[in-house]
Structure 1
Amino acid sequence: MPRVRRCRQYGCHAMCPLPNHYCPLHIEHEAEYLASRERWRNKERSKAQVHKYNTVTRNRTVTKQEQYNFYRTRQWAHLRQSVLDRDHYLCQYCRVIGKLTPDSKTVDHIIPVEAKPSDKADECNLAVICRPCHYKKTEWERKYYGTGNGNELKDVEPIEDVKRIVLMMNGRNNHA
């Protein structure tokens, strides 16, 4: 039996034979995808740039290094898979507004790790989130909690309710 992989087209679950990345229905995207991979591969990145990114930008503090190391553990891999199975790969933030976003593969901390490090391995503090919602939520966390590079953590009440977070992310109910 030939080796296969899932088609890269969003929402398509068809299998395609290796070395293709798209099924016969979406094969017209193959050349474009291979060209983008080639452009990425050919970008010049010196060892100094990579080292600076990893040591200065990405893991700028001991806390960030600990967080990074946590996401590389077997415990996190099992937690993440458990949450994905629990939420059926559906974005919980989109679900609040009545929209179903399938194939979401990111697991997010409802209360950010910076704000409450003790809950980083608590399954109740995790939810599946799609990319657009994750971007919005990260921006909201920077404003509400003061997370992120260059910010100071604020002493605010942690919000555990996804519905309330969605309302606040979308600019409604800011003082609830």
Structure 2
Amino acid sequence: MLDTSTKENRKDFYNSRAWRKLRLEALARDNFECQWCKKEGRLSNNINAALEVDHIMELEYYPELALELDNLRTLCKACHNKRHERFEFRGKSKEKVKYRADEWWG
């Protein structure tokens, strides 16, 4: 079974050929649209949209579902950040960026 217990192992997973291939399949299946925005009637499938593929059942806790297409959904960066309760820096706001380093992939 895939070991996703450490940040380094998750980073290795997100850099793997298997993940990159499956990620593209999920994006194509979802028509390169954020599924949450789509559900709310917002359009997010433009060429400049930052789309990310989210594990519905989180990788860290459900490694057996890491490469299951049915466990993936396309989210825009904003929705993915909301889903994981991350912050983004907003202008003069004092909000800080809070991201998990192991979830940054290209």
Q: TM-score w.r.t. structure 1 length? A: 0.42
Counting only pairs closer than 5 Å after superposition, residues 35-54 of structure 1 correspond to structure 2 as none
Alignment of 1:25-44 (within 5 A): none
- Paired residues for 1:1-176 under 5 Å: 63-102=6-45, 103-139=49-85
Mark the runs of 5 or more structure 2 residues left unpaired by the alignment: 87-99, 101-106
Q: Secondary structure at the match of 2:54?
A: strand
Q: Specify which structure has the higher proportion of helix.
A: 1
Percent of pairs with identical residues:
37
1:108 Cα deviation (Å)?
1.0
2:65 partner letter = D
CA contact (8 A) 1:89 1:104 kept: no
Tell me the secondary structure at the aligned position of residue 139 of structure 1. Answer: coil
Cα drift, residue 132 of structure 1: 0.9
Shift, 1:65, TM fit: 1.3
Q: How far 1:105 moved relative to its partner?
A: 2.5
Q: Which has the larger radius of gyration?
A: 1
1:108-145 per-position Cα deviation (integer Å, ceiling 9, x unaligned)? 111111221111111111111101101100118xxxxx
Runs of 4+ in 1 over 4 A off after TM superposition: none
Kindly indicate whether structure 1 or structure 2 has the higher relative contact order, using CA contacts under 8 Å at least 6 residues apart.
Answer: 2
Q: State the aligned residue count.
A: 82
Corresponding letter in the other structure for 2:60: E
Give the distance between the partners of 1:105 and 1:132, measured in 2 at CA: 9
Q: What are the ranges of 5 or more consecutive residues in structure 1 without an aligned counterpart?
A: 1-60, 141-147, 149-176
After superposition, give the CA deviation of every residue in 1:80-110 in whole Å (9 maximum; x if it has no partner): 1111111111001111222221144211111
> Does structure 2 retain, via aligned residues, the 8 Å contact 1:110–1:127?
yes
TM-score by length of 2: 0.68
Contact 1:90 1:104 in 2 (8 A): no
